[in-house]
A and B are shown apart, each in its own frame.
Chain A
Amino acid sequence: MTQGPNFEELVGEDLPAEEEARLRRAHELLLAAGPIAELPPGLEEPTIGEQRRPQDENVYQLLPRRRVGAALALAAAIALVAFVGGYIVGFRHEGFTAQYSVPMHGVAGVDASAKIQIGSRDANGNWPLKVEARGLPRLKTGYYEMFLTRGKQMFTCGTFGGAGAKTVKVRLNAPYQLQRGDGWIVVKELPGRPKPGPTILTTA
């Protein structure tokens, strides 16, 4: 039998028999179905069928066609210079040199996001992390914990608190050999719960 929430606790005990049977059926189907997956960022919006948008037929031509390519090339060059400059300026300070960064997004209706900057591996095999999170729900109790995920395995990389509308910046550490395909999650840890709490941020 699948573990799940107690039906009577969820709906109370004051329901007419017919309504209770109807809700119980939905409850049992939910248990049998199992969880629905969180979408990866690439699937948040439909990306197909763009070429058939009717409004595309009425786009004004602002530049002669022969100049569009040159303008795009110039814009790309400016963007590249700005990106490389920002990368160097942003990543080389406070003694932390980021090798690459990974974006995270909120799950289950949480309007939060984060960026993990992963530094150079030190002599002891640790990967320093710099996490910058925005919009994390304010905690009355508990704290946040970051995990490295690999398949069904989870490895803790440290905990932090202090969240709200402001940006939270923390230094954490991943004492594991990072691999291609690794993911990261931030969960909310509740006092007294032996297992990790609900996921708040994910890279998936």
Chain B
Amino acid sequence: MSARKDKEMELALDLDVRARARNPKPRAAPAEQCSDGELLVRIAGGDREAFDILYRRFVRPVFSLALRRLGDRGRAEDATQETFTSVWRSAGSYKPERGPGAPWLYAVARNAIVDRTRARSEPPAEAPDAPSTDPGPPEEAERSWLAWRVHRAMQELPEHERPLLELAYWSGLSQSEIADFLNIPLGTVKTRTRSALGRLADALEELQ
């Protein structure tokens, strides 16, 4: 009797294991491979790793946007901190069905920056003698959004490729100067630059 009971127990356990093998629990994708929107959903559930990854993807674009708008590194740093604090607190308000994560985060950053702009106490401006040739608010908004997408895409490039584009485009170095600066062969600079531009084009297409 007892032996039969043991046998039944073994069978039950065996069936349970087989059933689990047939219908494994769906495993979550590694956070590094998640889209921005998926990371936000995870952050809403308190996932610290997802937050770290989102932070690394966006901290430089957020800081660049803030610096461009505020023109002061200290206040731009504060606005960046505030942006990510808001992301951590309010990721639950992100609705994936309404669109990707990057525009949502852009709006959060913009709000934090606008708050910093309002907080600044400026002396009353004097009336200019001639109309300004600076871009107006719509052009500036369009340019900021474009820069945001490009800077976000740059963060997706591998570490050995990103500095090449930064040095070529934003430090004004020629390819041979980059080779000298990074102490790598000129041919490697050319190969990596072309590869980096290709990856950037892919990332920008995904962000469209």
Contacts and interface: CB of A to CB of B under 8 A. Distances in A.
Interface residues of B, number: 54
A190 B173 CA distance: 10
B81 A43 contact: yes
B155 to A, nearest CB: 9
B85 interface: yes
A32 B197 contact: no
Interface residues of A, number: 47
A198 B167 contact: yes
Interface string B123-161: 000000000000000000001001101110010000100
Nearest to B147: A33
A95 interface: no
A9 interface: yes
Contacts of B106: none
A92 interface: no
B7 interface: no
Interface in A1-38: 3-5, 9-12, 19, 22-23, 25-27, 29-37
A66 interface: no
A181 B61 CA distance: 23
Nearest to B67: A37
Interface stretch (B34-42, B93-101, B111-119, B198-206): B198-206
Contact of A10 (B76, B162, B175): B175
Contacts of A32: 143, 146-147, 150
Interface stretch (A46-54, A68-76, A167-175): A46-54
Interface string A116-148: 000000000000000000000110110000000
A42 interface: yes
Interface string B53-66: 00100011101100
A48 B81 CA distance: 8
A34 B171 CA distance: 11
B114 to A, nearest CB: 19
Given A10-B197, A26-B204, A33-B147, A49 B171 contact: no
B55 A40 contact: no
B104 interface: no
B207 to A, nearest CB: 10
B33 interface: no
Contact of A36 (B170, B173, B198): B170
A140 to B, nearest CB: 6
6 contacts: A30-B200, A37-B64, A48-B84, A137-B181, A137-B183, A190-B180
Interface of B: 46, 48, 51-52, 55, 59-61, 63-64, 67-68, 73-74, 76-77, 80-81, 84-85, 88, 143, 146-147, 149-151, 154, 159, 162-163, 165-175, 177, 180-181, 183, 190, 193-194, 197-198, 200-201, 204
